[in-house]
């Protein structure tokens, strides 16, 4: 028997987007917020660099808009960009009101009377607010503290949404697997919000945590929502390669300070790809590393900063140094083994500026959504901003229209009568590994028609196996994630196959040119 919970709003996901939405709803709403693991699990907690916002008097909305459009390679939705950027100041004020302590200006910097602003790739002004090099953690901690104080919000950790509940065309809740009781419960609400983060776990190497399996995108797709631009996955060029390091990024500042990229034989190679060599933009460096790894069949390449003094390294890169030491790498002597890593999902559930999806009562915010802000390539530090701005506008919309939403009647219990305990979990672990490996090899940074076709053949076989397994055995965290990864992987493959050009983050050797007329890849469930 399932437990039945009734709320006004159910928010699936407790990162920057989900927490912000919960805190922006008026206190009269009874809100449930779900998280797969503990509250630190998502990408928000890992964000280092900062959040872009127009707060410097020298900067302007027009300039931030122009930079974002430029990074997005012709595919940004102008309305979404203007909406996001013009609300960036309010978003910052709101975060500060919640207790977020952004780094203040030091004596040596006069660009702002108050907050220290950095500059990152693609931005033509200093406009990145940050909290030292742990911005996401500082934001998350402040928001978690506020949510824990809010009497109208109940937090459910270790609760994994399985599928959405739809009645007469409206979303009215979700089936949710409780890891502690090992059973699936029913959460009913007139408004449901997907804030489940990205899908970068579809790739073998990723900077994201384990939960980034695209659950919200897969659930929305199964429920009938359109999904757009899934071919645009951003890769970070340098993630530490070590069997136990899992997902540790080596900051791009190492290259900025003279770090050299090397082949396994010690040869430099970046100048063959771009005259800026190691200082070329992120996507060019990632592509060059990928090309060389595939050409040589190498497991990793190297980033060498050992020519700098130990004192310099200790003062500039204390965290990198410490982390590498943990794995037996002395960066003052040894080159650092690196691979590129899947970092950010630009595509997602199609929404408008209020975060509304195609299904009434269902909203999607944060990395799960495709608002049109990022187009074909995300500009650094625009993603946290998008989380805050869209969460706030979705909260306003829910409040304004709440009385129009049909109130859910009791939903059916989850039917577990026909499933048994699995006696061969190896199917799950094998398929996890296989999927992430072929996505990396065939749908990665550099694509070809042949590679994509190979990936499509494999994903279809896996889909059949996973569906069969899902209908026969009890759900578990790994099975649910695998099922969702298979859906998002297929969406990525199909989107990549539909795009007969290279644009932004999608690069294919078969169509190296960019089409003069930019077009989104929008997939609709019934048409696939």
Ligand X SMILES: Cc1cc2nc3c(=O)[nH]c(=O)nc-3n(C[C@H](O)[C@H](O)[C@H](O)COP(=O)(O)OP(=O)(O)OC[C@H]3O[C@@H](n4cnc5c(N)ncnc54)[C@H](O)[C@@H]3O)c2cc1C
Q: Which residue ranges make up the site for ligand X (CB under 6 A)?
A: 12-18, 34-37, 41-44, 46-51, 135-136, 159-161, 195-197, 207-208, 211, 215, 249, 344, 366-368, 381, 383-384, 387
Helix (H, G, I), strand (E, B) or coil at 188: strand
353/258 Cα distance (integer angstroms): 42
> Taking Cα atoms as reference points, which of 394, 385, 399, 397 lies closest to residue 90?
385
368/217 Cα distance (integer angstroms): 6
134/137 Cα distance (integer angstroms): 5
249/134 Cα distance (integer angstroms): 13
368/489 Cα distance (integer angstroms): 14
244/347 Cα distance (integer angstroms): 30
β-bridge partners, 11: 33, 193
Q: How many CB atoms lie within 10 A of CB 275?
A: 8
166/81 Cα distance (integer angstroms): 31
- Indicate the DSSP class of residue 402: G
Determine contact, residues 39/67, Cβ cutoff 8 Å: no
- Indicate the DSSP class of residue 491: H
Q: How many CB atoms lie within 10 A of CB 23?
A: 22
| Helix ranges, 373-506 (H) | 382-401, 426-442, 449-472, 477-498
Give the count of alpha carbons within 13 A of 139, CB side only: 33
Question: Which phi and psi angles does 4 have, rounded to 5°?
Answer: -115, 125
* Helices and strands in the chain, H and E counts: 14, 20
**Min CB(20)–ligand X separation in Å:** 8
- Indicate the DSSP class of residue 5: E
102/116 Cα distance (integer angstroms): 8
The single residue of 46, 77, 282, 323 carrying the catalytic annotation is: 282
**Min CB(266)–ligand X separation in Å:** 29
User: Is residue 104 flagged as an active site residue?
Assistant: no
**Min CB(95)–ligand X separation in Å:** 12
Q: How many CB atoms lie within 10 A of CB 505?
A: 25
Cβ neighbours of residue 96 closer than 8 Å, sequence gap 6 or more: 102
Question: Which phi and psi angles does 363 have, rounded to 5°?
Answer: -115, 155
Cβ proximity to ligand X: between 150 and 298 the closer is 150
**Min CB(250)–ligand X separation in Å:** 11
Residue count (the chain): 528
Which active-site residues does the annotation give?
282
């Amino acid at each position: 028997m399932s437990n039945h919970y009734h709320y006004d709003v159910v928010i699936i996901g407790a990162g920057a987007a989900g927490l912000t939405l919960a805190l922006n709803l008026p206190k009269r709403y009874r809100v449930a917020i779900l998280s797969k693991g503990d509250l630190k699990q998502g990408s928000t907690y890992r964000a280092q660099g900062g959040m872009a916002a127009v707060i410097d008097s020298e900067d302007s909305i027009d300039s931030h808009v122009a930079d974002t459009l430029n990074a997005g390679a012709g595919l940004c939705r102008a309305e979404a960009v203007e909406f996001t950027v013009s609300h960036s100041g309010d978003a910052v004020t709101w975060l500060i009101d919640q207790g977020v302590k952004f780094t203040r200006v030091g004596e040596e910097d006069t660009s702002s009377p108050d907050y220290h602003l950095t500059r990152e790739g693609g931005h033509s002004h200093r406009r990145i607010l940050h909290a030292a090099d742990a911005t996401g953690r500082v934001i998350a901690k402040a928001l978690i503290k506020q949510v824990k104080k809010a009497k109208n919000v109940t937090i459910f950790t270790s609760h994994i949404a399985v599928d959405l509940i739809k009645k007469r065309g409206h979303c009215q809740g979700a089936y949710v697997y409780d890891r502690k009781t090992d059973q699936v419960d029913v959460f009913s609400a007139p408004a449901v919000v997907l804030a489940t983060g990205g899908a970068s776990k579809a790739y073998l190497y990723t900077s994201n945590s384990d939960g980034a399996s695209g659950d919200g995108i897969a659930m929305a797709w199964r429920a009938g929502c359109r999904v757009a631009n899934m071919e645009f996955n951003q890769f970070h060029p340098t993630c530490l390669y070590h069997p136990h390091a899992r997902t540790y990024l080596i900051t791009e500042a190492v290259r900025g300070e003279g770090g050299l990229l090397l082949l396994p034989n010690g040869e430099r190679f970046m100048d063959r790809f771009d005259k800026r060599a190691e200082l070329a933009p992120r996507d060019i460096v990632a592509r060059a590393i990928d090309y060389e790894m595939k050409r040589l069949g190498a497991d990793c390449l190297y980033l060498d900063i050992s020519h700098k003094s130990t004192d310099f390294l200790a003062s500039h890169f204390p965290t990198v140094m410490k982390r590498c030491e943990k794995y037996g790498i002395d960066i003052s002597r040894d080159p650092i083994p690196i691979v590129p890593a899947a970092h950010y999902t630009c595509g997602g559930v199609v929404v408008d500026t209020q975060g509304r999806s195609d299904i009434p009562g269902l909203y999607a915010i944060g990395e799960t959504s495709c608002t049109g802000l990022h187009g074909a390539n995300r500009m650094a530090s625009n993603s946290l901003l998008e989380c805050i701005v869209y969460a706030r506008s979705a909260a306003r919309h829910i409040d304004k229209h709440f009385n129009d939403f049909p109130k859910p009647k009791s939903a059916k219990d989850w039917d577990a009568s026909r499933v048994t305990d699995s006696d061969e979990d190896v199917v799950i672990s094998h398929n996890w590994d296989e999927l992430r490996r072929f996505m990396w090899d065939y749908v990665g940074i550099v694509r070809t028609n042949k590679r994509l076709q190979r990936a499509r053949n494999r994903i279809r076989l896996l889909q059949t196996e996973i569906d069969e397994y899902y209908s026969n055995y009890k759900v578990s965290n790994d099975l649910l994630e695998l099922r969702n990864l298979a859906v998002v992987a297929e969406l990525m493959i199909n989107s990549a196959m539909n795009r007969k050009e290279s644009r932004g983050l999608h690069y294919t050797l078969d169509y190296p040119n960019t089409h003069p007329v930019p077009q989104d890849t929008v997939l609709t469930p019934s048409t696939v």
